[in-house]
Structures are given as C-alpha cells and as structure tokens.
Amino acid sequence: MLSFILRRLVSVAATFIIVSLIIFFMMHSIPGGPFDANDMPVSEAVRAKLMANLGLDQPLYVQYFRYMWGVLHFDFGVPYQSPGETVTQLLSRAWVPSLVLGGLGVLIGAPLGILLGMAAALNRNSWIDYLASTLATLGLTIPVFVTSMLLILVFAVWLNWLPASGWGKPERWILPIAAYALIPLATYARYTRSAMLDTLNRPFVTVLRAKGLTERRIVFQHVLRNSAIPLVTVFLPMFIGTATGSIFVEAMFRVPGLGAYFVSSIETRDYPLEMALMLMITFMYCIAYLLSDIVYALINPRIRVGGGQ
Amino acid sequence: MPLVEIEDLKVSFSQYGGRVDAVRGVSFTVNEGESLGIVGESGSGKSVSCSALLRLLPATARVSAKAIRLDGIDVLKANKEDLVRLRGRAAAMIFQDPMTAFDPVFTIGHQIVETIQAHRQLSKRDALAEAEQLLLRVEIKNARDVLGYYPHQLSGGMLQRAMIAMALSCRPKVLIADEPTTALDVTIQAQILQLIKKVQAEFGMALIMITHDLGVIAETVDRVLVMYGGEVMEQGPVQQIFDAPQHDYTRTLLASLKTGFDPSADEDMTATPALELRGLSKVYRVGRRAGLFTNHSEFHAVRPVDIVVPRNRIVGLVGESGSGKTTTGMMAMRLTEPTGGQILVNGTDISTMGPAELKSFRRSMQIVFQDSYSALDPMMTLSQIIAEPLHIHGIGTAREQTEKALDWLERVGLPRNFGGRYSHELSGGQRQRVAIARALILGPTVLVADEPTSALDVTVKAQIIGLLKQLQAEMGLSMLFISHDLSTVKSLTDTVVVMYRGRVVEQAATQAIFSEPQHPYTRALLDAIPADNPANRRARSFLSADELEAATPRYTTVQTGLAPNATPQLISIAPDHRVEAIVTT
C-alpha cells in the first residue's frame, strides 16, 4: 500500500510539472500583454520599464523557472490587477464564498443524489425511478445559467421569498447553492442508480436471498458496498472539482468568489493570478484522484489483497 | 407428508408487453432424504420451478399453483418471517458458477457466519468456529486460512466446496443444486458430485439436482423428472428412465449420451500433415510489484509441444482450464504470437510470415470459437457474417458472395431466408452453425474448433458434432478439436493429445487412450467421466497434483532404448502412443 501511494505521488508530481509547463506557455502564447489596455494607455517607455520590473522582458524559460521557484516557496507573486496584495492574499479572500458555495452545493447535492439513485434502483420502473431519471436528465442537460435564472424568476421575482443576488447574509446563499447542488445531484443520482442496478443483477444477490438474509441487510450491507466501488472513482474528483468555484453560478447571483477572477485574469493577462488559479485546480484534481485511488484500493479486496493463491 | 410438494405450478414472465410461459403445470414431490433429479435443456423451466419454490423469481414473474409447500409452509402465502425460515433453513441452494456466487468484497468466513447468524442465535466466535468445522466437512484442508480469504483468492472447485459448506450451515432439510458442476473442470466436477452425495448422506437431507447432464443424473439421484418446454415429460426411478424411457424426448436425450466411435476414412499417412506444430511454446512475462520496482518472472503457458494433425483427420486436444490447450490452438492459427517453435500448415512454415503473406494463407486455416454469441458481430446480418471472409479475400462479386453465403446457410442446416436475420434472433446451436459456415466458406484445409459445443444443450451438441463430422468427411478437413469433454472427444476424434499444465503428457489413437491410458493424469480424466447408466456408478479415486506428479510412469532403458533421465519426458511406448515418463536403468 505504501509503495502504491509513493508511486502515485511521483506521478502526481510529474502531472503537476507537465500541466504547469503547458499552461505557462499557452498563457504567454496568447497575443497581447498586461499593459495593452486602451482605457489607460501608457507610453512605450513606461511599459518597457514596467515589463522589466516584473521580469517580463526575460526569456520565457527564465520566467517559468522564476515563477515555479516561487511556487515551491508558496510565493505566487503579485496580481497585476490588484498590486496592493499578494496572489495568496487575494485567493484566500475570494476563495471563501466559492468554497462555501461549492462545498455546500456538493454536500447537499451528492447525498440527495445518492438517495434518489438508490430509491430509483430499488423501485425500478416505478414513479420514483421516472422522477429520478427525469431530474437527472434535466440537471445534466439544462445549462446552469438557465436553471439559475429560473430559480431567480420563481423564488425571487414571482414568489418574492428570497433575495435575487448577493452574498453576505445566509438567506442570500440559498438560491445559488440550490442552483449549484443540482449538478452533483443529477450526476450522483445517475451513477448511483446504474451502479446499484448492476450490482442487483449480479448472481451473488440471488445467493444472498436464497441464504435467507433479509432484504434490508442485502441492500445495505452487500449491494451498497459493491456499488460504492465504481462510485468512489467519480465521487472525490467531482467534489473537489466543483468546490473551486463556478463561473456561471457566481456571475448569475453576483457572488464575490473566484469565478470573476478566472475571467478577469485571462482578459487582462494577469499572469501570476492566472497561473496560480490553474495550478490550484491542477493540484486539487491530482489530490482528488490520488485519494479516490487509495479509497478504491481500500474497499476493493481484489486490489487490496492481490491475486489468486 | 412430503417435504416438497408442488402441484400444477405455472410461471410466466412479462416481456416487451407480452407474456412468456416458462412453466406450464408442473407437479412433483420430494420426500425426506430422497434425491430427485430434474433434467432438461436451457429454457425447459427446471431452474424456474425450483426458484419458485424459494420465491427467488424476479418481480416480472407471475406464479400460480394449486399448492407449493415446503416443509409444511405454504410458499405462496409466506410472509417475511416465513421466507427467512424457508430460505437457508428448510431448503438451501447451490448455484452454477461459484466464481460469481459469492459477494466479492467480503471474506468466505464472513459470508458463512452471516448465514449462520441469520438463522440461529450464535455469537460471532461460535459461528466462526462452526464455519471452520463446516469447511473441514467439505474437505477443505486449510479451513482456518480459507475463512479469511476473499472469493477471488480461491479456485472454482474450492469456491464450490465453500458454497456447499455455506448451504449446510443451517442444516437444511433439502439441498437444491442448480447445475452445480457445469462451470467446473471434469476432474473437479466428479469430486464435487461425490462430495454432494457424501454430505447428503451425512446430513440426511433430501436433494434436488437440476442439470442438463444425464451423466450427473446417473451418478447422483434416485428419481428423475424429465422436463421440456415448461412441462414434465416423464418421471420415474432413475434406472427405469435409463433402461425403459417412455417418452421420445427422453430417448433423444439418452441417444446423445451413447457415443459411437467411427474413425475417419483411411488416408495415406506419409503425405504432408495438414498442420504440424514443432516445439511450439508460449511464455508470458509476469510483473510482480515489490516496493517501487517490478520484478518480472516468466509464466510458461505452453511448454514446447509437438502436435501433428494428419490430412483428413480429427485430433482431439484435451485438458482442464489453464492447461494451455486454447493457447496452443490460438498459436496454431497465429492469433496468439508464439514465443518459440514452428507452425507448418500443409508443409509451409507460417510462424515467420509477414502480415500480407499470412493473410492469403489464412484462406486455408480457420477457427470456430466456444462462445458463438460474442463471436458473431451483432450489427451484421447472417449472410453478411458468412460472406465476410469472401469479401476480405476479394473472392467473387457482392452478389456471388451473398449467394454463396446463403448456400452455406443451407449446408449447415439453416433455412435460406435466415440470411437477413441478426445473430441475437438465433438459438445457441443455430449461432454455432453460422460460425461454422463462416469458417468453412473459404474451403480451408485446417480447422481449429475451440470447445465449439461446450456452451450448448445435450441434444443440440449432438447435432453440432454430427454436422462437424459430416462436413469434415465431405470437405476432407483436418481438424484440431479442443475440448474438456471426453465423451465428445471419444465420439469424434481419431487421435487424442492430453495436455496438463502446459505440457503434453500423453498422445495416442483415441481407442488406445480410452482403453489403455498410461499417464496418471489421463487416467484421472477418464475416471472422472460420469457414468452413462446408474447401474455403472462407481467409487472414484482422486489424485492431488503432488500425487499425480509422483505417479508418473517409469520405463526402463531396455524398453525405450533411451538414456536414463530423472526428469519426465515424452517417450514412445508403442507406435503412435507417446506418454510423459521417467526413464530408469
């Protein structure tokens, strides 16, 4: 097990380096630079001075190594669009709403989705099953900005129960989180339903019934455990993937999270911020896959215990 | 009062809006301690009847009966508590494929303990101790270790033993065995049957043996129920069914069990053999993780083997799963790349041919696989499937190709109008006919048939064997027939090659193998063939792998003319009879 984790850590590090290279050079290959804006033109001399100050006149590989050296020391540089603080400070400020929104969204959506998927699988071809399938399909096909607008229209405009946008107070959280939770809910409902149906159709379930076990024990001990094996591979990556913030939901409900910075950092060629955001996402995906591989190995005896006699 | 009483049982399934009758008015009883065999082919309703007895049918099934009683409980009216008492306690069941019958994420011990605790008030420690005792009763020697094993760590035979132990754990009054040996190797099959008989006697249980194999029936039961198309054709004492069958279907079944031996027409043996394998071997590199590094070791799937398939002959290649027989067949067709050795087809070495040269050579060598379902493309019509080889080799116009494919449909005994159908519309036997037509349409000289009948019902199997035999004679085919089923091999082949753990251990004319087997493994194989009549039941001796190793025959230098050698080698002991033996002084 330890060697398995070590091997995976090596591959995580490799992935991280490769992704950082790709992002860095793609980012710089986009035409234009941070001081090209038309609304605040600067003279050629000033711009050259600024570029030199920020090290942008150096060859790309030098810039890359300088930046990555900083990353190794947890120094992600200073954002060009907000020079009064470091990237780290900016992120830790803007990340909180995103984390609350994404985290609560998944924490609410995932269990509901799993329950819905279970109910659908156990009552196949009943109204629960059809409801679950409909919800799952809608959740996966309707873009999140459409559902966001519908939520605003119904609950804020027509019923006037909840504020349409903003953050700050808890009642303002409800609509964005609801909009956000729909994606994990739909995904997990679908995955859980098909994983449980697969398991329920396996011969050993008939054997368990023939042994005289109660249906409750069969479902909760045997079927769930077996269905969880394929589920963990999608569970954690999705969790962390969604917790990094949703550009659309944040924009629709004007949540002051990371989403806006994704867009602005690319638009204004804010290289340090853009790089930091991308590296953060890469890192979280790597860790999520590492963790889910470990959990997968832990709950699957074929991997944990190894081959035949 | 009988232990099991079923009267006028009817089961139908709803399917695509309609209903399909699976069981139409079946009645039978089983008394305490009695053993009943239910024999019939797939779809005859034999398993469905017994699943109905334990209410194990899916929700799509509609069940009605005048009475279904098990141990005094009305099964149709049983509530939750009754069901728990019925299942596992009144009746326990063992299933066909032990590899999929256990939950893969729990240990064997856990799953037996769970069964015990579902029915009896026992502490976990006592239940574990009992589970260990049960494993010992089913002749698992390292019972304590096996308790902690996961299903994937055990072989099929061991798992079926553990399954039997689990079934016994609540002292059921009747044991229902649903094709308990079908998924196992011949020698293991015989051991499991013997074990079921033994525990039935020890525990004084009744037994319901569901099978398609009359040999299994002849070996194990007192009374037989013959089913066909959801109805009981005939029932009676086992001896009577075998000696004086009343119903035509029973006679057909019995006829398929009788095997006639009919050697191929004589041919000039000095001619170049159709297929010759010289020192053909396959070695796989196996990676074993050790820390951060991987250690590679070698697994010899096939040690160098020499096999000759003479012109117009059928050579049987037998052995258990893992013996290397399929690998050998695949290498002979160059569908698996051999590690070493030569493959001569009609005298030409094809082992070093490049892709283009090999492609044109493939016209004379074809293969038929075991699973006809996955061997046929589900998106193609039958005439497209059969004509595809012509298309690949660019023979004739599209119209001629289709015409020829339809001719071949007829030749393998299917109507011409089947040409537009898809493979899922056919039965297993019909699909195998299509696979045979596809293999033979190019007029090959060599055919490798890899277990072509082992997925089929007995009567269908006999038909396919007949078809192969007929086509072989008509076309002058040379065939390598790979099988684990010795009775089929006996009725079809001219020569038999026995493989064991990647080596050829014996090789002789079919008659010689069956009348004078020399190698202990060949003898064990023959000993494992089920009796063809209950009067011929016999006690069998089973050898472990070590005992087999130790029982290798010995020949002196005087007999063989070879130098003494402590390692076993293939030696000729008679014309055309070779056996693996140790040469001593």
Q: What is the pLDDT of residues A130-145, one digit of tens each?
A: 988 888 888 888 887 8
Give pLDDT, residue A71: 82
Q: Say if the Cβ atoms of A301 and B105 lie within 8 Å.
A: yes
Instruction: With respect to residue B172, please indicate whether it lies within any of the assigned structural domains.
Output: no
Is-contact A238 A244, C-beta < 8 A?
Answer: no
Give pLDDT, residue B92: 93
Domain limits for position B290: 261-473
Instruction: With respect to residue B410, please indicate whether it lies within any of the assigned structural domains.
Output: yes
* Element spanning B411, H or E: helix B398-411
Q: Say if the Cβ atoms of B105 and A206 lie within 8 Å.
A: no
Helices and strands (H and E) in chain A: how many: 14, 0
Give pLDDT, residue B545: 67
Q: Give Cα B322 distance to the centre of its chain.
A: 13
* CATH assignment of the domain containing B385: 3.40.50.300
Is-contact B169 B131, C-beta < 8 A?
Answer: yes
Instruction: With respect to residue B521, please indicate whether it lies within any of the assigned structural domains.
Output: no
| Mean pLDDT (chain B, rounded) | 88
Give pLDDT, residue A218: 92
End-to-end, the C-alpha distance of chain A in Å comes to: 19
Which residue of A207, A218, A225, A300 is the best one to mutate when testing the B interface, meaning the one whose CB has the most B CBs within 10 A? A207
Q: Pairing relation of β-strands B35-39 and B73-74?
A: unpaired
Q: How far apart, in whole angstroms, are the C-alpha atoms of residue B100 and residue B81?
A: 27
Question: For B1-30, what is the mean pLDDT?
Answer: 88
Of B189, B164, B35, B174, which Cα lies nearest the Cα of B101? B164
Instruction: With respect to residue A147, please indicate whether it lies within any of the assigned structural domains.
Output: yes
Q: Which residues contact B550 (CB under 8 A, 6 or more apart)?
A: none
Give pLDDT, residue B481: 95
pLDDT at B354 over 80: yes
Q: Which of B39-48, B370-379, B442-451, B521-530 has the highest mean pLDDT?
A: B442-451
Instruction: With respect to residue B328, please indicate whether it lies within any of the assigned structural domains.
Output: yes
* Element spanning B36, H or E: strand B35-39
Question: For B370-384, what is the mean pLDDT?
Answer: 90
Q: What is the pLDDT of residues A238-285, one digit of tens each?
A: 766 565 557 777 777 777 777 778 778 887 788 888 888 888 888 888
pLDDT at B342 over 50: yes
- Indicate the number of domains in chain A: 1
Question: For B203-213, what is the mean pLDDT?
Answer: 92
| Mean pLDDT (chain A, rounded) | 82
pLDDT at B34 over 90: yes
Q: Say if the Cβ atoms of B80 and A214 lie within 8 Å.
A: yes
- Indicate the number of domains in chain B: 1
pLDDT at B261 over 60: no
Beta bridge partners of B581: B569
* Six-digit token string for A25: 């050079």
- pLDDT-derived band of residue A308, with 50, 70 and 90 as boundaries? very low
pLDDT at A158 over 70: yes
Residue A206 C-alpha, separation from nearest chain B C-alpha, in angstroms:
7
Instruction: With respect to residue B7, please indicate whether it lies within any of the assigned structural domains.
Output: no
Give pLDDT, residue B315: 94
Q: Say if the Cβ atoms of A203 and B153 lie within 8 Å.
A: no
Q: How far apart, in whole angstroms, are the C-alpha atoms of residue B462 and residue B459?
A: 5
- pLDDT-derived band of residue B317, with 50, 70 and 90 as boundaries? very high
Q: How far apart, in whole angstroms, are the C-alpha atoms of residue B535 and residue B522?
A: 24
Q: How far apart, in whole angstroms, are the C-alpha atoms of residue A222 and residue A216?
A: 10
Question: For A168-185, what is the mean pLDDT?
Answer: 80
Please state at what angle helix B108-119 crosses helix B156-168, rounded to 10 degrees: 20
Tell whether B362 is within 8 A of chain A (Cβ): no
* Element spanning A4, H or E: helix A2-29
Instruction: With respect to residue B565, please indicate whether it lies within any of the assigned structural domains.
Output: no
Instruction: With respect to residue A280, please indicate whether it lies within any of the assigned structural domains.
Output: yes
Taken in order A80, A85, A86, A87, is the CA torsion positive or negative? negative
Instruction: With respect to residue A155, please indicate whether it lies within any of the assigned structural domains.
Output: yes
Q: How far apart, in whole angstroms, are the C-alpha atoms of residue A55 and residue A71?
A: 16
Q: How many Cβ atoms are within 10 Å of B14's Cβ, its own excluded?
A: 12
Q: How far apart, in whole angstroms, are the C-alpha atoms of residue A239 and residue A224?
A: 20
Instruction: With respect to residue A28, please indicate whether it lies within any of the assigned structural domains.
Output: no
Residue A309 C-alpha, separation from nearest chain B C-alpha, in angstroms:
5
Query: Looking at this protein, which amino acid is placed at residue B398?
Result: A
* CATH assignment of the domain containing A216: 1.10.3720.10
Q: How far apart, in whole angstroms, are the C-alpha atoms of residue A89 and residue A273?
A: 11
Give pLDDT, residue B268: 59
Instruction: With respect to residue A78, please indicate whether it lies within any of the assigned structural domains.
Output: no
Instruction: With respect to residue A65, please indicate whether it lies within any of the assigned structural domains.
Output: no
pLDDT at B29 over 90: yes
Beta bridge partners of B570: B580
Instruction: With respect to residue A281, please indicate whether it lies within any of the assigned structural domains.
Output: yes
Give pLDDT, residue B267: 58
Q: Which of A92-101, B70-79, B295-304 has the lowest mean pLDDT?
A: A92-101
Tell whether B160 is within 8 A of chain A (Cβ): no
Taken in order B266, B272, B273, B275, is the CA torsion positive or negative? negative
Chain B residue whose CA is closest to A299: B105
Question: For A41-53, what is the mean pLDDT?
Answer: 78
Domain limits for position A248: 94-304
Instruction: With respect to residue B422, please indicate whether it lies within any of the assigned structural domains.
Output: yes
Give pLDDT, residue B546: 72
Q: Say if the Cβ atoms of B87 and A6 lie within 8 Å.
A: no
Instruction: With respect to residue B438, please indicate whether it lies within any of the assigned structural domains.
Output: yes
For residue B88, which residues of chain A lie inside 8 Å, CB to CB?
Answer: 210-212
For residue B163, which residues of chain A lie inside 8 Å, CB to CB?
Answer: 207
Residue among A203, A222, A299 minimizing CB distance to B100: A203
Q: How far apart, in whole angstroms, are the C-alpha atoms of residue B392 and residue B413?
A: 25
For residue B147, which residues of chain A lie inside 8 Å, CB to CB?
Answer: none
Chain B residue whose CA is closest to A214: B84
Q: Give Cα B495 distance to the centre of its chain.
A: 21
Give pLDDT, residue B265: 59
Q: What is the pLDDT of residues B429-475, one digit of tens each?
A: 899 999 999 999 999 999 999 999 887 887 888 889 889 989 998 99
Query: Looking at this protein, which amino acid is placed at residue A69?
Result: W
Q: How far apart, in whole angstroms, are the C-alpha atoms of residue B532 and residue B259?
A: 10
Higher pLDDT: B397 or B186? It is B397
For residue B166, which residues of chain A lie inside 8 Å, CB to CB?
Answer: 211
Distances (CA, A) of B138 to A108, A161, B33: 50, 69, 19
Q: Is the ipTM of this complex over 0.90?
A: no
Looking up tokens 């010992």 gives B136
Higher pLDDT: B132 or A291? It is B132
- pLDDT-derived band of residue A5, with 50, 70 and 90 as boundaries? confident
Of B500, B499, B516, which Cα lies nearest the Cα of B577? B516
Looking up tokens 């804006």 gives A37
